[in-house]
A and B are shown apart, each in its own frame.
Chain A
Amino acid sequence: MRSHFRSLSACALVAVLTVAGAGCGQDAETAQGGVTTITVMGMPAATNAKGRKLFQDQVAAFEKANPGIKVVGSDMPWDVKTFAPMLAGGSAPTVLRVPLTEPAGLIERRQVADITKEATALAEYRSLNPDIMSYVTRNGVTYGLPEKAYALGLAYNRALFAKAGLDPDKPPATWDDVRAYAKQIKDKTGAVGFGEITTNNSGGWHLTAYTYSEGGSMIEQAGGRWTAAFNGDAARRVLDRWRAMRWEDDSMGGNVLGKQEDMIAQFAAGKIGMWVTSPSDIYPTYVTNGGKPEDFGAGPMPQGAGSATLVGGTIHMVNAKATPEQRAAAVKWIQYRYLRPNFDTEAAVATAKAAAADGTPVGVPVLPIFDQATADKIYKAIAPHANVPQDHFAAYVASLGSLTFTPEPQVASQEIYAALDPVAQAVLTRRDADPAALLADAETRVNAILGKQQ
């Protein structure tokens, strides 16, 4: 029976790929009778009734203010598996809502539209955070606009800290501290001191972030060609520390073969002392998974020889098949729904009220997508509706002003991460793994990937 299932799955895969290819050239959204229709991702699911109603009210208000535009909401979340066939079949949404890991690949494959003309015409465009905009611009061309952003930091369990005799208000700031804290948590509480994720490209993603925090880099450009640059002391220190924590301190637990979703569940269950993630981003999921708000702590991205962190976020991009009218309408909508609540206090308060009434977190500290003055004004306006223990984020927020935001590898980031996953897995699952040999092997593989791209 299962073999039948697999046969069907394989056929479906091939069928999807090919039928997708056959469907090229269709375009579902067209301008009819002077009305431009756009399909937009980001409509809250039906289970989030209040959030959905706010979305629909905003659609009605937007359409009233822009009589030539019709907005069709989609509550379908971003899924790379369905996006490709939908794009080929002409049914992909006009406005794509994607995590910050996606723009590089979408831009490389030319699957998203150039919105430079429409975006730069916005009054607030110049106030957007350049660190975040660097992810959606390439060679002076703008391909997207941000909804929210956050930096990698340390999520930790305050209750486990207290139980282990550590001060919950003083999370570790260096990797040496992290190692010592992790061992203390493990020894005193029996819980995993420091959790790590290594599958679905997360191992390569974390190895990249940790290497940056050690002052290293992943790829470099010389003479117009990209090559791997991670086979050095910085990445080596990361691997050596992982090995020591896993096999000498035994502070990382035996289960190191998981992805971010697995770790959130474990963290919410109180089984993990610390781990590196985007604390602001995972907080809502942590609460949904049953995690106690009072136990949640957010600290800075631990540092070694460097002073850097990676940025994450949610971005809106426009389908490459959109017409000029749809592109203009899409940018108008992104401004109305996502930029406005970050610079217009009235819109910010309305959004915060609806979220608070629905029981979803309000006031989670994020990386401002505009300048600091605008961010402070918005925080002040929504403060009465905030329901998040913001003082538990204090150390994390303080670090945002001092750390450098380093971008992900600009070329083939996902392929590089996929090639680095086995490196992280080897060190954490094999006591006799040789970090130097692993890095040398990964360097060869990544150079082959980069060579293919150029």
Chain B
Amino acid sequence: MTPVVATAPSPAGAAPEAAPGRRAGARPGRSDRGRRALAGLVFLLPALACFGYFAWWPIGRSVVLALQQTNLVDPARWVGLRNFEVLFADPLLPTAVLNTLWYTVLSLLIGLPAPLVLAVLISELRRFGAPARVLVYLPVIVPPVVSVLLWKIFYDPDSGLINAVLGLVGLGPYPWLQSPAWAMPSLVVEATWAGAGGAVLIYLAALVAVPRELYEAAETDGASIARRVWHVMLPQLRGVILVLLLLQIIGCLQVFTEPYVMTDGGPENATVTVLLMIYRYAFLFGDYGTATALSVLLAVALAVVSALYLRLTRGWSSR
């Protein structure tokens, strides 16, 4: 340990010695702390201004707009909670909420284990690990709309790639996007394909950090591959898994691109989501107040989920 150097205490109320003569680790004076705080604030100011103007101000305005009716030309009229009443009277709202939750559940069932399994498989590869990582990450580079349109062609019931391949083994043709039952799982599969690459890389990075000795010890004790995964790897990855799980929940609750581009909410409203409703209210029907009211409700829901996320991650990371 570093020995503590005793020094004579300063007279009560006297200012500390000037910086050159001061020992390392001495507490800074009040004016010094003030200067540092001011400098910090100056450095922070541009970011604060950006956040304030582009994030906090719009969020505040959203709450105001949710209580108004506007055509963006005449002055906005205060309508109290009427926009929320219109929203709750819309029979499509429960459908959209349930669809969004269904998408989230399916995404977790399909989208959560898939990257983990891929990461484990790639990490076990003796050769071709790098090309495998590139291949898995490639779909992330494709612009979301392009990948959605690509999969729309794959899903074509008459001439799509998927039915063509399944037809080779005597299966199908299946209606995919044309069926209210199949449409949502089809969107989830596309989203998983498009987004899994990022999660795979994060899992791979986390896997590298798992100490080799733990695997070797388990192997010495005769643990099978499945047991090594279950008892060694997964507990070591639990922090990363939890973070990705909750980020995925937040992302899924805001799903828009897939249903907007691929199905426009159809068939029979089977893929209408909350964000698609916001879009329709604002840009199709010109009802900006109700659109913003739904945005505010979604923001509140996401805030609750985020609070849960923070609480859970704090608990897990402290173990």
- Residues of A bordering B, CB below 8 Å: 1-7, 9-11, 13-15, 17-22, 24, 80-81, 84, 87-88, 105, 108-111, 192, 198-201, 253-257, 259, 320-321, 412, 414-415, 418, 421-422, 425-426, 429-430, 445, 448, 452
Q: Which of these, B54, B175, B195, B282, contacts A254 with CB under 8 Å?
A: B175
B280 near A418: Cβ-Cβ < 8 Å: yes
B178 near A21: Cβ-Cβ < 8 Å: no
Chain B CB count within 10 A is highest, among A7, A11, A14, A22, for A14
List chain B residues, Cβ under 8 A from A84. 72, 282-283, 286, 288
A254 to B68, CA, bound (A): 44
List chain A residues, Cβ under 8 A from B283. 80-81, 84
Q: Which of these, A1, A18, A201, A259, contacts B65 with CB under 8 Å?
A: A18
**Distance between B104 CB and nearest chain A CB, rounded to angstroms:** 11
- Residues of B bordering A, CB below 8 Å: 54-55, 57-62, 64-65, 68, 70-76, 86, 89, 91, 140, 144, 156-158, 173, 175, 177-180, 191, 194-195, 197-198, 247-248, 250-252, 254-257, 263-269, 275, 278-280, 282-286, 288, 291-292, 295, 298-299
A3 near B251: Cβ-Cβ < 8 Å: yes
List chain A residues, Cβ under 8 A from B251. 2-7
List chain B residues, Cβ under 8 A from A415. 284-285
Show 10 residue pairs from A and B whose CB-CB distance is below 8 angstroms, ordered by the A residue.
A7-B251, A10-B298, A14-B58, A21-B70, A24-B75, A201-B284, A255-B157, A255-B178, A321-B73, A425-B267
**Distance between A357 CB and nearest chain B CB, rounded to angstroms:** 34
A259 near B62: Cβ-Cβ < 8 Å: no
A22 near B288: Cβ-Cβ < 8 Å: no
Q: Which of these, B73, B267, B292, contacts A320 with CB under 8 Å?
A: B73
A257 near B263: Cβ-Cβ < 8 Å: yes
The residue in chain B whose Cβ has the minimal distance to the Cβ of A199 is: B264
Question: Given that A2-B198, A21-B76 are known contacts, is A257 also in contact with B252, CB under 8 Å in the complex?
Answer: no
Question: Given that A22-B57, A88-B72, A257-B267 are known contacts, is A10 also in contact with B256, CB under 8 Å in the complex?
Answer: yes
Question: Given that A9-B257, A430-B180 are known contacts, is A448 also in contact with B89, CB under 8 Å in the complex?
Answer: yes
A335 to B2, CA, bound (A): 89
Q: Which of these, A4, A257, A422, contacts B269 with CB under 8 Å?
A: A422
A80 to B298, CA, bound (A): 23
The residue in chain A whose Cβ has the minimal distance to the Cβ of B65 is: A21
A415 to B284, CA, bound (A): 8
A21 near B198: Cβ-Cβ < 8 Å: no
**Distance between B190 CB and nearest chain A CB, rounded to angstroms:** 11
Question: Given that A84-B286, A429-B175 are known contacts, is A14 also in contact with B295, CB under 8 Å in the complex?
Answer: yes
B58 near A15: Cβ-Cβ < 8 Å: yes
**Distance between B109 CB and nearest chain A CB, rounded to angstroms:** 16
Q: Which of these, B73, B158, B197, contacts A110 with CB under 8 Å?
A: B73
Chain A CB count within 10 A is highest, among B70, B180, B286, for B286
The residue in chain A whose Cβ has the minimal distance to the Cβ of B147 is: A2
B62 near A14: Cβ-Cβ < 8 Å: yes
A445 to B268, CA, bound (A): 14
Chain A CB count within 10 A is highest, among B59, B278, B280, B288, for B288
**Distance between B45 CB and nearest chain A CB, rounded to angstroms:** 21
A81 to B64, CA, bound (A): 21
A88 to B70, CA, bound (A): 10
Q: Which of these, A17, A22, A430, contacts B295 with CB under 8 Å?
A: A17
Question: Given that A22-B61, A105-B286 are known contacts, is A13 also in contact with B280, CB under 8 Å in the complex?
Answer: no
Q: Which of these, B89, B156, B292, contacts A18 with CB under 8 Å?
A: B292
Top-10 shortest CB links A-B: A3-B251, A254-B157, A18-B61, A2-B195, A199-B264, A1-B198, A425-B267, A18-B58, A88-B72, A15-B58
B268 near A422: Cβ-Cβ < 8 Å: yes
B194 near A2: Cβ-Cβ < 8 Å: yes
List chain A residues, Cβ under 8 A from B91. 445, 448
**Distance between A422 CB and nearest chain B CB, rounded to angstroms:** 5
**Distance between A89 CB and nearest chain B CB, rounded to angstroms:** 9
B299 near A430: Cβ-Cβ < 8 Å: no
B73 near A111: Cβ-Cβ < 8 Å: yes
A110 to B197, CA, bound (A): 47
B61 near A19: Cβ-Cβ < 8 Å: yes
A414 near B285: Cβ-Cβ < 8 Å: yes
**Distance between A202 CB and nearest chain B CB, rounded to angstroms:** 9
Q: Which of these, B144, B248, B267, B298, contacts A5 with CB under 8 Å?
A: B144
B264 near A200: Cβ-Cβ < 8 Å: yes
A2 near B179: Cβ-Cβ < 8 Å: no
A255 to B155, CA, bound (A): 9
A414 to B266, CA, bound (A): 16
List chain A residues, Cβ under 8 A from B140. 1-2
The residue in chain B whose Cβ has the minimal distance to the Cβ of A417 is: B284
The residue in chain B whose Cβ has the minimal distance to the Cβ of A203 is: B266
A448 to B86, CA, bound (A): 10
The residue in chain B whose Cβ has the minimal distance to the Cβ of A84 is: B72
List chain A residues, Cβ under 8 A from B263. 199, 257
**Distance between A326 CB and nearest chain B CB, rounded to angstroms:** 14
B72 near A11: Cβ-Cβ < 8 Å: no
The residue in chain A whose Cβ has the minimal distance to the Cβ of B143 is: A5
